[in-house]
Amino acid sequence: MTPKEVMELAKKNNIEIIDLKFMDLIGSWQHFSIPISRLDEAFFEDGLGFDGSSIRGWQAINASDMLVIPDPSTAVEDPFMQVATLSMLCDIFDPITREKYSRDPRNIAQKAEAYLQSTGIGDAAYFGPEAEFFILDDVRYRSDTNQAFYYIDSVEGSWNTGREESPNLGYKPRHKEGYFPVSPSDSLHDIRTEMMLIMQKIGMTMECHHHEVATGGQSEIATRFSTLTKSADNLMWYKYIVKNVAKKYGKTATFMPKPIYGDNGSGMHVHQSIWKGGKPLFAGNGYAGFSETGLHYIGGILKHASAICAFAAPTTNSYRRLVPGFEAPVNLAYSSRNRSAAIRIPMYSPSPKAKRMEARFPDPSSNGYLVFSAMLMAGLDGIENKIDPGEPLDKDIYALGPEELAHIPRLPDSLDGSLRALEEDHDFLLKGDVFTQDLLDKWVDYKREKEIDEVRVRPTPMEFHLYYDV
């Protein structure tokens, strides 16, 4: 869509407000709105100034002036505003140099796609994230000097079988039995349907929706793969729509990886493939129908997985999910069909066009622009350097004994460990100026100062349970 076509669309739909959305460094949408009277073709060149020092992980106050310029190809009518509103995703520019901002996550995704093309390896990278989430009925939390607690509740929670609900109908999915019962045990079908139809209405291609494994309202809506930047754009719309539809029903949705103790956390399995000239490069005659190129891509992901975790599992809560012996894959192995491996080669279809790999360790707290870009850069490093992924592991890794497990490398067990891995292994990200050293330093500093240290210095209720009477 061109600027002229955006203006025609706005006129046709009687748009009154233009909403400009962009991504902060950590992974949340920010926005501001202008009246339709301010929109003309020059706006797509001149943009609008704003204070970059007030955005997480961005500018210092003495260099705060930034420009936001909308991408006309992203224009869609916002499905939640009372007044007719046209939303556009934006890119961030330096107002003096007119260069794209190096800490704008969307810019990094665009540079990753450009780098792929510059290598001659392929001309398109496709990503298909499967983001899981919880739909809850109540959430409360607080952390003060003398107290700390969280409380979540769901009408579906297995802990509520004995609650007075006037009447309690008893349909509560048991722990690890939420995949996937019909109504009335699945009480969220209509809500997910509305979410899926709204996603479809704004232009996303949908595949299915279903209840997920955990009790307490865990869900997933499957979207079709797209190119890297577009897929990251879609992921943000996905989160926005899920949260706002839940709010409409008086519920709340979270993409926090591990909000419930004792049941499955929420992952974001990421399907990936590279194409060139309309042909899939991962299809071949090797293991699981994979090509040498595809296996080298997997080799790159496995080699750099610990560093990738700084973006793929970017919260302290992520490592409540990535725990050895539990449902999330922490062992750096690959396999066909095997969901206990960190990388799986799906075997649903014999078609070469369906040949792809799936990274199973990321979670939905991640910034899609950054994690997709990091995985593409790791995979390309694997192709360029012909990195051997080793032998596949087709056994149930969860059932292996200590001797066998000792030979399988693992992901870091904490966010701090992932950040250390990123500090030690990041040259592959700097190729083509896709990631900059400035951005990586800022990411590590922000995560340590604003998240790790804040969690580290606070006692938890379980510590009182374990140690109060020592």
CB atoms within 10 A of CB 13: 12
Please determine, for residue 450, whether its predicted confidence score (pLDDT) is greater than 90.
Answer: yes
Return the structure tokens found at 270. Answer: 């990421």
Predicted structure pTM score: 0.96
Ranges 106-110, 278-282, 338-342: which has the least confidence: 338-342
Q: Which of 104, 186, 358, 381 is catalytic?
A: 358
* Per-residue model confidence (pLDDT) at position 59: 83
Residue 385: what residue type?
N
Q: Which of 24, 71, 104, 132 is catalytic?
A: 132
Q: Which of 269, 271, 304, 344 is catalytic?
A: 269
For 76-86, what is the mean pLDDT?
A: 97
Nearest to 225 by CA among 115, 124, 74: 124
The yes-or-no answer on residue 130 being catalytic is yes
Q: Which of 130, 156, 363, 416 is catalytic?
A: 130
Nearest to 102 by CA among 340, 350, 443, 433: 433
For 295-301, what is the mean pLDDT?
A: 98
The yes-or-no answer on residue 41 being catalytic is no
Q: Please report which confidence band the pLDDT of residue 347 belongs to, taking 50, 70 and 90 as the band edges.
A: confident
Q: Please report which confidence band the pLDDT of residue 402 belongs to, taking 50, 70 and 90 as the band edges.
A: confident
User: What value does the mean pLDDT of the chain take?
Assistant: 95
The yes-or-no answer on residue 220 being catalytic is yes
Burial (CB < 10 A; 0-12, 13-18, 19+), residue 169, is exposed
- Measured in degrees and rounded to the nearest 5, phi and psi for residue 239 equal -65, -40
The yes-or-no answer on residue 164 being catalytic is no
For 46-56, what is the mean pLDDT?
A: 90
Please tell me which residue, 399 or 182, carries the higher pLDDT value. Answer: 182
CA distance 107 to 261: 37
The yes-or-no answer on residue 360 being catalytic is yes
Which residue matches tokens 């210092």? Answer: 60
Ranges 29-33, 217-221, 306-310, 329-333: which has the least confidence: 329-333
CA distance 270 to 346: 12
The yes-or-no answer on residue 163 being catalytic is no
The yes-or-no answer on residue 304 being catalytic is no
* Per-residue model confidence (pLDDT) at position 2: 94
3-state secondary structure 11-46: HHCCCCEEEEEEECCCCCEEEEEEEHHHCCCCHHHH
Ranges 324-328, 348-352, 358-362, 413-417: which has the least confidence: 324-328
* Per-residue model confidence (pLDDT) at position 64: 83
The yes-or-no answer on residue 51 being catalytic is yes
Please determine, for residue 399, whether its predicted confidence score (pLDDT) is greater than 90.
Answer: no
Positive or negative torsion for Cα 432, 238, 443, 316: negative
* Per-residue model confidence (pLDDT) at position 358: 96
Residue 447: what residue type?
K
